[in-house]
Chains A and B, each alone.
Chain A
Amino acid sequence: MRMPRVLERESVLAPLMLAPVTLYIVLLVGFPFLMAFVYSFSNVTVGNPQFHMIGFGNFTAVLRDPTFLKSLMNTCVFTFTSIALVLVLSNMLTELLMREFRFKWLIRFLIMLPWTAPIALGTIGFLWFLDSVFSPIDWLLRTWGLLGKPHDILGPMSNLYWLGRPGLAMASVIVVHVWRLLPLATMIRIAGMNSIPREVIEAAQVDGAGYYRRLFQIILPLLLPVISVTVLFSTLFTFTDMTVVWVLTKGGPPDNSTQVLASLAFLKGIQGGDLAQGAAVAIFFFPVLAGVAAVVLRIAKKAVVT
Chain B
Amino acid sequence: MANVHLAGIKKHFEGVKAVDGIDLEISDGEFLVLLGPSGSGKTTLMRLVAGLEKPTAGNIIIDGQTVNDLAPRDRGIAMVFQSYALYPHKTVFGNISFPLTVEGMPREEIKKKVAWAAGLLGIGHLLDRMPSRISGGERQRVAIARALVRRPKVLLMDEPLSNLDAKVRHTAREELKLFQREINVTTIYVTHDQAEAMGLGDRIAVMHEGTVRQIGTPDSIYNDPQNMFVAGFVGIPPMNFMEQEGVIIGFRPEALLPEEALPDKDCMRLRLLVERVEDLGSHRLVYGTIGTAKVIANHSFRLNLKEGDEHEFAICSREVRRFDPKTGERIRP
Residues of A in contact with B (beta carbons under 8 Å apart)? 197, 199-200, 202-210, 213, 217-218, 221-222, 303, 306
Contacts and interface: CB of A to CB of B under 8 A. Distances in A.
A246 to B, nearest CB: 42
Interface of B: 50-52, 71-73, 77-79, 81-83, 85-89, 98-99, 102-103, 130, 132, 146, 150
Given A204-B98, A206-B78, A306-B89, A199 B83 contact: yes
B102 A207 contact: yes
Given A207-B73, A208-B73, A306-B130, A221 B89 contact: yes
Contact of B88 (A202, A210, A306): A306
B81 A202 contact: yes
A220 to B, nearest CB: 10
A207 B85 CA distance: 11
Contacts of A199: 81-83, 85
B85 A200 contact: yes
Nearest to A220: B89
Contacts of B50: 206
Contacts of A217: 98
Contacts of B85: 197, 199-200, 202-203
A101 to B, nearest CB: 14
Contact of B98 (A202, A207, A222, A306): A207
B87 A205 contact: no
Nearest to A208: B73
A208 B52 contact: no
Contacts of B72: 205-206, 208
B130 A203 contact: no
Nearest to A303: B89
B73 A218 contact: no
Given A197-B83, A203-B81, A208 B102 contact: yes
A303 B98 CA distance: 20
Contacts of A213: 102
A202 B71 CA distance: 12
A202 B87 CA distance: 11
A197 B150 CA distance: 24
11 contacts: A197-B85, A199-B83, A203-B86, A203-B146, A204-B98, A206-B72, A207-B102, A208-B72, A208-B102, A221-B89, A306-B130
A209 B71 CA distance: 10
Contacts of A303: 89
A213 to B, nearest CB: 6
A205 B98 CA distance: 11
